[in-house]
Amino acid sequence: MAITVYELIITGANVVSYRMEILDNFMTQFECMYTADQTKQLQEMTRNFLNKKDHSAEVINDLRTVLRFHEHRYYVMDDPLISDAEYDKLFKALEAIELAHPELITSQSPTQRVGSSLNQSFNTVQHIVPMLSLANSYNEDDLVDWDRKAREAAGIADIEYCIEPKFDGASISLIYENDVLTRGTTRGNGVEGEDITTNIRQVRSIPLSAAFSDFGVQQVEIRGEVMMSKKAFNRYNEMLAGLNLAPLANARNGASGSLRMKDPKEVAKRGLEAFLYNISYHTPTNDKEAVRKGQAFLDTHSGSLTLLWQLGFRSPEKEKVVVKGIKAVIDHVGEFEALRDDLPYEVDGMVIKVNDLELQEKLGMTTHHPRWAIAFKFKARQATSKLRSIEYQVGRTGSITPVAKIEPVQLAGVTVGSISLFNEDIIKDKDLMIGDTVLVERAGDVIPYIVKSLAELRTGKEQRVIFPTSCPVCATRLFKEEGEAVWRCVNIECPAQVVEKMIHFVSKNAMDIKSFGEANIRKFYELGLLKDIPGIYKLDYGAVSKLEGFGKKSITNLQEAIETSKNQPLNRLIFGLGIRFVGETTAKVLSNKVHHLLDLQNYTVEQLQQLEDIGVKVAGSIVHFFQNQQNGLMLRELEALGVKMTNEKRAVVHEGALTGKNFLFTGTLNKLKRSEAEELVEQKGGKLLGSVSSKLNYLVVGDDAGSKFEKAKKINTIRIINEDEFLSLVQA
Ligand code: IVH
């Protein structure tokens, strides 16, 4: 007995220390591609750049080197040495030099990742070496079997293996020629893929250039996986939720769905990362000395990962392990599986590769798979359960969300009993019937979802799902807009919506009224102490103090939190109003535009569409909100109750080169973002107008200018200028 306990402790301790070791590796101490001396020197250069105001064009290369260094620290090492604001400052300094000297811009400059144009179509291109898939193994026996065959073919007693995570993302292939990234492709059918270079350039951990020539490599094809980290995935889903859009099902879909997007800017928003794990092809340069240097790395798979790491790629250098013999492989994959949920990204198994590249060559491949590598798949975090019923929840915009109630099951450490189904189409697509056996999956800390129903297990007693035609709370007839998947209750007085709106209003990213959570809102609503958003500022504290659980202290806290919220910045108030499609970013754009919230009542759909990132759908929803009389009354009441509706930051009047002049922009600018140009106008004392009129002094015309341009041409007091002319006006 005593011995068993002792063993348990030892095993426990081993597991813990191993865990620490691997997780520590993800932290800082890992060897960087920059030496300590280089790092010191680059830090000094950074400080110098940050301390200086203006930078001459001569420093352009140093500035780029410094920016690349910090990108590497941030995106590859995950260990930044400067703040985001400092990075932005350096980035802006480079942009300013490039603005003044467009002839110095190169495609590898850190400023050149995000292009301004949309992808039209993706050309089909051939991979240099076909992209193979791997044979799978699921248990110890499969691995032993695979190793035996490899040993027999190789005639070796113990093979050296390199083990690395099997990254669960979307596979890509990159080509670098003469140190420059020239092509990025999807896997496609393995022989041909699609050229997605513009989107690949948005992935900040992929260097736009890398010094392969120092290692005697002229052309190289590299394989890897584009991933969305768990953090980026959750952040992106929170953003979607803010816009009342259905979340991505899992991080893999998030990554693969992004590769073929039309708009590279959208791709940039997903915060993608890339792991590069294989060099599939390379040609030598004429520099014999460099080739010899490279060869030292390129003899083994593990060496090639080190080389990639040295060149600034996020290769699995930290994660890889080299062992001899299959027994050690089996031990390692078991230990690594236990860490799965602690990793910052999703893995679905491990890949075991013969380390010696000459031996890889000798082993060759079957018709489908290389014999020198195998995937070991971790147990799927799936379970089956019974679909008991479907409930329908009413959201703050009236959206009806079906929620599957299943027999509770254990999945990756949590009990799952409710699963959101988002909309009616999902019920149809997955062919769900009440009573069905359903396959449920949950990856990492991602929300669980129903993969499918197992129709073959039906008994005949299952019942069809009948989607409601009226609101489950207020019985108003449901309505679905053309082209939408979501049914809505259109009664804005529907109690469910009213409550959800208040919950959103007080939430952390909106008015952030601490100690006024969901539970209190529901309780106060049910008791008749609160009926709408203005009611928050009219609470009868006397009545509240009579409720159980509301002592003096908690009432004071609540009162203070509510009082403080009156002065929240305007963007938080706008977000808190829960206008459909208006997330935190749009709320900021809107708040920057107006002096007083009610100014938005005067905006038309066309005017709103001129603002950054606001399309016709969002603009329509904003106009709809502000032209609704009840909303107008609510806003006036809020203001009377002391809620601040002005944008103080904007109210400051600047004096400068543009004082007394009115500006308007049309079309796409190339050097500045629209919002930056508008900010410049205001900083220099100018004013922005919403439309073309005789009050307008300057119309700044970018690419693809539309009707404003035509209209302005007819008024001869308006000066029509391009972006460069605008910039020289500003600088005058
Ligand atoms: S090696 C010829 N290593 O898993 C071998 N693949 O079916 C090329 N994957 O298509 C692949 N992590 O998309 C390799 N560390 C890793 C991997 C990995 C994920 C993907 C890859 C491949 C699939 C295997």
Give the pLDDT confidence of 147-194 residue by residue, as tens digits: 999 999 999 999 999 999 999 999 999 999 999 999 999 999 889 999
Mutation choice for ligand 1 from 277, 305, 360, CB with most ligand atoms inside 8 A: 277
Residue identifier of the C-alpha nearest atom 2 of ligand 1: 132
- The pLDDT, as a whole number, for residue 625 is 94
Q: Among 438, 440, 393, 402, which Cα is nearest to 423's? A: 402
- 260 beta partners: none
pLDDT of residue 439: 93
- State CA 489 to chain mean position distance: 31
Q: Which atom of ligand 1 is nearest to the CA of 164?
A: 15
Terminal CA-CA length for the chain: 87
Cα–Cα distance, 576 to 271 (Å, whole number): 26
Residue of 730, 600, 606 whose CA lies nearest to 663: 730
Sort strands 437-441 and 382-394 into parallel, antiparallel or unpaired: antiparallel
Tens digits of residue pLDDT in 283-336: 999 999 999 999 999 999 999 999 999 999 999 998 999 999 999 999 999 999
**Measured from the CA of 168, which atom of ligand 1 is nearest?**
19
> How many Cβ atoms from other residues are within 10 Å of residue 457's Cβ?
12
Whether the CB of 347 sits within 6 Å of ligand 1 = no
Q: What is the pLDDT of residues 544-580, one digit of tens each?
A: 999 988 999 999 999 999 999 999 999 999 999 999 8
Q: Please state which of the ranges 25-29, 59-63, 462-466, 709-713 shows the lowest mean pLDDT.
A: 25-29
**Which of 278, 315, 317, 357 to probe ligand 1 with, by most ligand atoms within 8 A of CB?**
278
Spatial separation of the C-alpha atoms in residues 494 and 414, rounded to whole Å: 34
State mean pLDDT over 224-240. 90
Stretch 128-141: mean pLDDT: 92
Would you say the CB of residue 225 lies under 6 angstroms from ligand 1? yes
What is the number of helices (H) and of strands (E) in the chain?
27, 24
- b/e string for 24-35 if b means 16 or more Cβ within 10 A? eeeeeeeebbbe
- AA letter at 37: D
- Model confidence at 692: pLDDT above 80: yes
Q: By C-alpha distance, which of 282, 321, 287, 320 is closest to 299?
A: 282
Which tens digits make up the pLDDT trace of 646-662? 987 654 567 788 888 99
Contact 621/484 with Cβ under 8 angstroms? no
Where b means 16+ CB within 10 Å and e means fewer, 653-689 reads eeeeebeebbbbbbbebebbebeebbebbbebebbeb
pLDDT (0 to 100) of residue 91: 93
Q: Which sign does the torsion angle of CA 292, 298, 299, 300 carry?
A: positive
Dist. CA 200–CA 173, nearest whole Å: 10
Burial of 83 (C-beta count, 10 Å sphere; 0-12/13-18/19+): exposed
Tokens 């993800």, located at residue:
26
Give Cβ neighbours of residue 466 (< 8 Å, ≥ 6 apart): none
In eight-state DSSP terms, residue 399 is B
Task: Give the residue, by CA position, lying nearest to ligand 1 atom 21.
Answer: 171
Using the mean position of ligand 1's atoms as its centre, give its distance from the Cα of residue 166 in Å: 6
Q: What is the arithmetic mean of pLDDT over 619-629?
A: 93
Q: What is the pLDDT of residues 254-285, one digit of tens each?
A: 899 899 888 888 888 898 999 999 999 999 99
Residue 624 has pLDDT above 60, yes or no: yes
Give, for ligand 1, the residue of 129, 225, 273, 369 to mutate: max count of ligand atoms closer than 8 Å to Cβ: 225
Q: Is 423 left (phi over 0), alpha (psi -120 to 50) or beta?
A: beta
For ligand 1, is residue 127 a contact (CB within 6 Å)? no
pLDDT band at residue 446 using 50, 70 and 90 as cut-offs: low
pLDDT at 1 over 60: no
* 168 Cα–ligand 1 center, Å: 9
pLDDT band at 223 (very low <50, low <70, confident <90, very high): very high
Report pLDDT for 443.
63
In angstroms, what is the span from residue 374 Cα to ligand 1's centroid?
A: 9
Q: Alpha helices, DSSP H only, in 26-108?
A: 36-51, 60-71, 84-100
How do 719-722 and 698-701 pair as beta strands?
Answer: parallel
Cα of 170 vs centre of ligand 1, distance in Å, is: 10
What's the CA gap between 128 and 191, in Å, rounded?
A: 8
Q: Which helix (H) or strand (E) holds 587?
A: helix 584-593
pTM (predicted TM-score): 0.60
Active site residues: 166
CA distance 378 to 349: 5
Residue nearest ligand 1's atom 9 by CA: 166
Is the predicted pLDDT of residue 540 greater than 90, yes or no?
yes
Owner of token pair 């049910």: 526
- One-letter amino acid of 64: R
Contact status, residue 315 vs residue 222, Cβ threshold 8 Å: no
pLDDT over threshold 60, residue 12? no
| Ligand 1 centroid – CA 259 distance (Å) | 17
